[in-house]
Structure formats: C-alpha cells, structure tokens
Structure 1
Amino acid sequence: MNICATDIKMEIGNNQILKGVSIDSKSREFIGIIGPNGSGKSTLLKCIYRTLKPNNGCIMLGRQDISKMSVKESAKKLAVVAQHNYYNFDFSVGEVVLMGRSPHKKSLEPDNSEDYDIVNESLEKVGMLGFKNRSFSTLSGGEQQRVILARALAQQTPCLILDEPTNHLDIKYQLSLLNIVKSLNLTIISAIHDLNIASMYCDRLFVMKNGRIVGMGTPQEVLTKEFIKEIYDIDVEIVYDSKGDMHILYSR
C-alpha cells in the first residue's frame, strides 16, 4: 500500500511548522525523511499517523483519504513506532504487544488464541519472545523499542511509520531494529537523523528544512558533499567501501 501526503500545512500557535509539504511512497518502499532539528520531520509524521490534524492538505492511504477513515480503520493499515514510549502502569511485555491487536477487536471483545499466537510470532520476529512475562519498565531502551516494534507488527498493517525510533539507542540496537524493519517488506516512512543509517536502509530520501521539502531522490542522489553542506552547514567526504556501500565522513 502506498502513502501520499499532498500540500500539508501545519500551524501551531502563530508558528507555521509545515509550509506545504508533499511526499509519497510506493508500495513496500522504505522512505527516509532527513533534515536539521526543527525542520518539521516529526510534525509531518504526526500528521500522517493522526496525532496532529493538519490545517491544509490531504493524506492518502492507498486510495482512501485518511481524514475520512475512523481511527480504528486507519490503525488496521498504519502502525507506528515512536521515539518515546511511556506507560503509567506496570505492563508485561506480552500485554504491551497485545495492545497491537486492539484495532481488530470489537468493544469488550476478549482476546483469543489467534491474538496470542500473533503476539508470540511478533515477539519472536524481534528476538524478544523470552521476555514475554517480564515487566516492560525493567527493559533497556533497546529492548523496549523492539517490544514496541513487536506491538506494531501485531497490528498486521501494510504500512509502518518510524518516528525517530533509534535516536537514544546504541549502534547495535539501531542496526538490529532497522534490519528487522527492512526485512518486513512493508511500506515504511521513517524520520532519521543519522545520514549513514539513512543511506544504508532507505530506497529514497526526502530532505526537509524550515518546514519545506528541499530535496528528494535516492541516497546517492541526495547525499552529496555539496548538498549536505547546504543543508547542515558541515563539511563531509563521501567514500565507498569494497561492497560499494556509501559512507559519509564528517570533518571537525
């Protein structure tokens, strides 16, 4: 399923955060959104996954306008892994992942064996099945993010939004989480700070600055030393390793 956002404008108070942003993804494409802090990346994603309502524009999931869908209906098509996940109650890992089944349940409908099978499969995919009965609050940041990814997988959606999910994770957990995500073969839109991570995993990039899209293309097309200097005001060197993978080296 493809995702298309057209002419999205978002004003908070008197501050216009998004100034007519348009992005699109093809089915099963991994889209990265990059840009400096404060450029509007997370605000755009929150408009797509309905935490915020844009002042203008249209967001389509496949052929459906998301504003005309119920929250439950859109949750069957779009799951989210956010940067921060806090719970006021002491849920077990299994209970957190079981929340992903909510869009598929009627009001007060009890969980069944199929739900529990899906929870187990989702935890197994992220390597956390052995933690099923552990308290979520006792896990490390990387472990918690894998559980939140399992919750998103339990929704069984064709589309996934990653709202800067790896910022506070060490490199091992960043790569582990994104390797899992990449293997899922879903339509993915992710805000990413690390340009090397973006070049490794994304099929296409959209570059944001001051609430606008200022560039788009493949990582090789977008991540040139000249464009990185223009967007981030830093000097870099672009090198390729023996496998042909691109790496960005930063200058002090």
Structure 2
Amino acid sequence: MTPHNTPPPPHSPPDAFGFQVKNVSFSYAQKLLFKDLSVTIGCREFCSVVGPNGAGKSTFLKLLTRLLEPQVGQILLANQPLADYLHRDLARKITYVPQESFFAWDFTVEETVLQGRYSYLRPLERYHSSDFDRVHAALGRLGIEALAKKGINNISSGERQLAVIARSLVQEPSIILLDEPLNHLDLAHQYQVLSLLTELNS
C-alpha cells in the first residue's frame, strides 16, 4: 500500500497538517498490514492510497476515522491525538464514504442524507428547516433530488452511492475520506462527483 500525495509547503505551520500518522502498526486476522507506517497528509490535499487487493487500503481509512484503532503508534488530526476527540466532534471534521453501504432499515433517501446533520444536534433536538435545505441542496448537486422520497433500499446501487456521498456533503466536514467512491457509478456521474470534489477543495 502506497500513499500518493503532494506535500504541503516546506514551512507550513504544524496545524496546517490534516493527519499525521506516526509509526502505526496494525494486524488483522493474524495478517500484518502495517508496520511502523508514518505519513503526513496536509490540508487541501488530494491524497490517493493505492495497492493490490488485501493490502490494507480500506483498513487505513478506517484507522483515520477511528472505526479501528492502531495497535501500535499514534494518529493525530490537527496536532491532536485522534483518540482524544469526542465522536461528535470528529463527525464534524471527518466524513467517510465506504466501498459499499448497507441499510437495515428502509429509510427514504432524504432521511438517509439527513443523518449527516446528526452531529450538529443537541440531545433531543429536532432537525431544522436549514438541515433539510442542506439535504436538498446536496441531492440537487448530485442530480438525485427526484429520489428524495424513495426508499434507500429501493434504488440502484449507483443511486445509493450518490446518496451516501450526499450524506457526507451535508456533514460539512473538513476532510472527506472516500473508499473507491466511483463504484457503481456511470461515467457521467463519475465525472460529476470528481468535479464536485475538486470544487469543494478549491
């Protein structure tokens, strides 16, 4: 597994770094995936992680989101240990789009995307009209607003992937982690998603 990124300017202040992965080791099912892995990913970088199947690309992204914890080493976000963040605070900074998304309950597309706003709610607080505005804006940008009232399990896999990407947008994070986000998308939607990501990063 090899991260490919463009380093930040040589005199960037420490807080300019998004992630700092320091000497991380991780094994999964008795298979060593990383040993003493260190990498820095700066703000406003497009960083690709490439490697063969089973090399640990998805595992690496899950470590960056705290879905998994390093067995050795440390990961920092903006110079603060990732483990020190409350999950609510982390959800406002990082969003993760997995390769495949499965839904046990048949929420509507609108309800699914609305979940991206959950970290901004106080206990027992209800969603606001501004949250719904963000949802429909994201659906519109991805060309799937007409699907808002359809069940998330009753649309195509490509449409479901777009809905999950829309959910990540309404989360309004600083960092978007995408695990093969163009899976199931036709060429037109692949271009649309890549153009949108470029726009967000500009």
Fold match by TM threshold 0.5: yes
Of 114, 129, 136, the residue aligned with 2:152 is: 136
The answer to whether 1:181 aligns with 2:200 is: no
The aligned residue for residue 115 of structure 2 is: 99
Task: Supply the distance in 1 between the matched residues of 2:173 and 2:48 (Cα, whole angstroms).
Answer: 19
Task: Supply the distance in 2 between the matched residues of 1:65 and 1:165 (Cα, whole angstroms).
Answer: 27
Residues 62 and 68 in structure 2, CA contact (< 8 A), matched pair in contact too = yes
The aligned residue for residue 7 of structure 2 is: none
Task: Supply the distance in 1 between the matched residues of 2:141 and 2:41 (Cα, whole angstroms).
Answer: 25
User: Scaled by the length of structure 1, what TM-score is found?
Assistant: 0.69
Task: Supply the distance in 2 between the matched residues of 1:15 and 1:35 (Cα, whole angstroms).
Answer: 16
Unaligned runs of 5+ in 2: 1-15
The aligned residue for residue 44 of structure 1 is: 60
Residues 42 and 164 in structure 1, CA contact (< 8 A), matched pair in contact too = no
3-state DSSP of counterpart to 2:25:
strand
Q: Which has the higher strand share?
A: 1
Alpha-carbon displacement from aligned partner over 1:95-150 (angstroms, at most 9, x marks no partner): 00000011111222111112111112221222222221121112222211111111
State which structure, 1 or 2, has the greater radius of gyration over its C-alpha atoms.
1
Residues 10 and 55 in structure 1, CA contact (< 8 A), matched pair in contact too = yes
- Computed over aligned residues only, the root mean square deviation of the Cα atoms, in angstroms, reads 1.7
What are the within-5 Å matches in structure 2 for residues 48-197 of structure 1?
48-185=64-201
Query: 1:125–1:172: structure 2 CA closer, same or farther, 3 Å change rule?
Result: closer
What percentage of residue pairs aligned between the two structures are identical?
Answer: 33
Structure with the bigger RCO (C-alpha within 8 Å, sep 6+) is 1
Letter of the aligned partner of 1:142 in structure 2? G
3-state DSSP of counterpart to 1:84:
coil
Alpha-carbon displacement from aligned partner over 1:42-86 (angstroms, at most 9, x marks no partner): 111111011111101222221221111111111110011111111
Task: Supply the distance in 2 between the matched residues of 1:182 and 1:97 (Cα, whole angstroms).
Answer: 21
3-state DSSP of counterpart to 2:52:
coil
The aligned residue for residue 33 of structure 1 is: 49
Unaligned runs of 5+ in 1: 187-252
